[in-house]
Structure 1
């Protein structure tokens, strides 16, 4: 893992009366009843999980390592009070982030990106620098969703986009870099309640506008 804080211990123990765990086979044992988040230290660890009922005890273990210097993911913009359902990358291992599915970035006031393809976070413009700056290169703001696909070619993937709190009068159309987006790249879904949903095959800057009427009078 890339962080020692807030790691998820998720487990399934149907039929168990008690479940407990420890780290590195060292007391104390800690009883749990639901999945939990835990903190640990850098280096290798083994987590031991135990369960029992009237039929006896069972156990399992998993070995993992924490190295906070192995790869840095800068995504503070997507961890604040407006993060919505944004992916918490710190919950994924280094192996997982090289083929991470269902990545979501959201600002609850402005919009949302749901990637429809797996992303290798380590394969950005400079894969050898052991870091990726998502905050600096992805922007969701008022009627605007933008990814710097030069800095983040690994995020230049098909995605479903949502623009929130639009005040546009229907019908609307999607803009790519300020021009009407081709139907080969953008596929419009639904526009209602101020939210526009559409799909794109690649990234740059996307926004929306009202469709002008033929006689120059705005639609009513």
Structure 2
């Protein structure tokens, strides 16, 4: 009976992508994801899952727009995860429309998280090419580690990165495109993604002064101007 109740509760908290969300995703992953198959679920018992990782260097767009990490290690909770075509969001991160107000405004943090998670959906839908399975993705999460760290200073192709790194790369591009469309790093990321997402837009539709930052006091000087040898972007 408890299982039946849980299934009914999840069904009641499940929705498709909104038209606004779909319009933004089209500027990133284009038509390379079958969005009709995607479902978004609220809660799903993941909010209490925590982990500890080392503090990240503030060299990436993702880290620089967030609140500074001032301790050697950081405790985090899971914001979202993907199982096949379904994206499960922890309750604090849930919205009826993650991108309400777009294209007049853009809540950048929510846009980054959504496209990160949809990259995992893309990996699943294209598993004949990516080799993706939920189990393989889960093995990237090791105690004390950080599967979202990546380095774009070398010549690796997109599929040579780990699955969480691929999501982080998409997330980082969304951040750089919104705040530094002409940045060296922005173009490097776009070229990395282009073979798999050929419709990816070079520029963000929303003006920079209408971008909503997770941490409004963030210093954006020199953002995405260099490739950054040691990088991090994550959920």
Q: Do Structure 1 and Structure 2 share a fold, with TM-score over 0.5?
A: no
TM-score computed with the length of structure 2 as normaliser: 0.27
* Rg (Cα) greater in structure: 1
TM-score between the two structures when normalised by the length of structure 1 = 0.29
Q: Which structure shows the higher helix fraction?
A: 2
Per chain length, whose mean CA-contact separation is higher, i.e. which structure has more relative contact order (CA < 8 Å, sep 6+)? 2
